[in-house]
Amino acid sequence: METSTRTLLFAAELVEENGTYTLLVEDVQRGGVQTTPVPKAMVDKLPTFLSALAAKLDPPPRRRW
C-alpha cells in the first residue's frame, strides 16, 4: 500500500480592490509574500491560461490494447 504526503509550497490569491488587480504569492515553506499588479486583460485571460498550462503539464492518458 502506497501512502503519499502533500506539502503546500506556495499559495496564491488574486485580489481586486477598486478596479485594481493584485497577485499575491505566499512562499509557505520559507515565509514571505510577493505581490505584483496584474492588468485586467490578463485577469480576463487567466482561465484560458490555466487550461493551456494544465493541458501542457498533464500527460496524455495511456492506451491499453
pTM for the predicted model, two decimal places: 0.72
| Domain-wise residue ranges, the chain | 10-57
Residue 2: band (very low, low, confident or very high) from pLDDT cuts 50, 70, 90:
confident
Q: Exposure of 9 by Cβ count < 10 A (0-12 exposed, 13-18 middle, 19+ buried)?
A: exposed
Contact 14, 43 (CB under 8 A): yes
The total number of residues written for the chain in this structure: 65
Residue 58: band (very low, low, confident or very high) from pLDDT cuts 50, 70, 90:
confident
